Amino acid sequence: MHVLSDKLMQKKHLFLYLKTGGGHLAPARSIANYIKIKHQDKVHPVLTDGFIGVSKFIRYFVEDGYRLSQAKAIWLYELLYAINKISNVAKLTAFIISIFIKPHLKKQIIEENPSKLVIFHFFLIKPVLEIVKENQLSIPVVVVVTDPFTAHPIWFLEKSPKFIVFSDQLKGHCIQKGIDKESVSVFPFILDEKFTRPLSRVLLHSIKKNLGFSIGKRIILILGGGDGIPKGKKILKNILKNNPVAEVAIVCGHNQALYKKAWELKSNYNFNNLKIFGYVDFIYELINISDVVITKCGASTFMEILISGKVPVINNYIWEQEKGNMEFVCGNKLGFYEKDTGKLPARINELFYNPQIYNTYKSNIKRMYLQNGTPQVSEYIALK
């Protein structure tokens, strides 16, 4: 009887995301997990893939097209991004995608009958708002803009929802686009809850030992997204040839070609201090035991590195979506950008052989006092 009563008292919040990279599902999941723990008696978060029921062709075009263009033809992704900065093109793109999403999304929203809709992908904004309006639903809509500094133009085509952003810079951009400043709330970036707490020295030593690393040696981590880091083979080859003082770890994700090549390079260079990982669920631990992380500048990844107090070395970023991330790191002297893979080893060795430079980056990161925004954003969504 009490269980039934509790369920009836709970407000259902629908968290809508798409699987275009991990940057949309990850924050939705972090907030949902926090709310389940802290507000389980008041709010029931429901994670919902906005493409459920949508044709395989559209899923492939949007989800796999995003992944493949970033991995194989970044110029194509950047071109599409650029032309969508033209307002009419962005509106047409949103309109076309909405046609395919809307019927299935409408069914989900009507069946779930949530008390709040929280959107984590820009392609879902237009169809959700139209469904709410056409069916005269009095459901508040909150949009979580998952890019912290420079965001895709389609995020801001609609002006009526409440927006959550992760920088004053992006709030200013929202206001420029005609969104009421009272509708935009700024919070720290959303990360997995475990990034809130650094690991103790004892745990760090234990993890190093369990993963086969030496306690006293520096560790260089090469880390991209789910498909590994762009130019991963070149980066790894140059690091192995020119960094004998440090141990090296590379996370290849789902990129089997990079995984096989990494093992070939390990054999060719007889580099026993290289650890090779595929897709893993212990990124938090790998970042924490590392000293320097070579990465692309995806939002979640670079923030995870910084909040862990590690120095990011950016080799790649997506224009213009990740440009603001790179500028935040370099402008605040928290790490550096080096696109030439041939120059990476020398610049990293400079960090290791010149403690003053390395410690300056570390001090600057500490002074930023970066926080995990998951608790604040979750409280706002659950209680507002």
Domain boundaries, the chain: 2-186, 194-368
pLDDT over 90 at 106, yes or no: yes
Q: What is the mean pLDDT of residues 139-150?
A: 95
pLDDT over 80 at 72, yes or no: no
How would CATH label the architecture of 2-186? 3-Layer(aba) Sandwich (3.40)
Structural contact between residues 43 and 11, judged by C-beta atoms closer than 8 angstroms: yes
Question: Same fold for the domain at 2-186 and the one at 194-368?
Answer: yes
User: Widest CA span of the chain, in angstroms?
Assistant: 68
Question: CA 55, CA 62: separation in Å to the nearest integer?
Answer: 11
Residue 303 burial (CB count, 10 A) = 24
Please report which confidence band the pLDDT of residue 287 belongs to, taking 50, 70 and 90 as the band edges: very high
pLDDT at 9: 66
Question: CA 266, CA 262: separation in Å to the nearest integer?
Answer: 6
Question: CA 259, CA 164: separation in Å to the nearest integer?
Answer: 37
Structural contact between residues 195 and 182, judged by C-beta atoms closer than 8 angstroms: no
Q: What is the mean pLDDT of residues 129-155?
A: 95
pLDDT over 50 at 2, yes or no: no
Please report which confidence band the pLDDT of residue 4 belongs to, taking 50, 70 and 90 as the band edges: very low
Beta bridge partners of 312: 293
- Amino acid 246 reads A
Question: CA 195, CA 305: separation in Å to the nearest integer?
Answer: 9
pLDDT at 244: 64
Helices (H), the chain: 2-9, 25-38, 56-59, 65-72, 74-83, 87-112, 125-134, 168-176, 201-211, 232-242, 256-268, 283-289, 299-307, 323-331, 344-353, 355-368, 374-383
Structure tokens of 137? 């639903």
pLDDT at 220: 95
Q: What is the mean pLDDT of residues 78-90?
A: 89
Three-state DSSP class for residue 94: helix
For residue 183, how many C-alpha atoms fall within 13 Å in the half-sphere facing its CB? 19
Please report which confidence band the pLDDT of residue 307 belongs to, taking 50, 70 and 90 as the band edges: very high
pLDDT over 50 at 5, yes or no: no
pLDDT at 384: 78
Domain 194-368 has CATH 3.40.50.2000: yes
Whole-number average pLDDT of the chain: 90
Residue 345 burial (CB count, 10 A) = 19
pLDDT at 3: 46
Structure tokens of 254? 């789902």
pTM over 0.85: yes
Backbone angles phi, psi at 162, to 5 degrees: -80, 140
**Buried (b) or exposed (e) across 252-263, using 16+ Cβ within 10 A?**
bbebeebbebbe
pLDDT over 90 at 64, yes or no: no
Structure tokens of 221? 């981590």
pLDDT at 53: 84
Asked which of 32-41, 46-55, 264-273 is least confident by mean pLDDT, the reply is 264-273
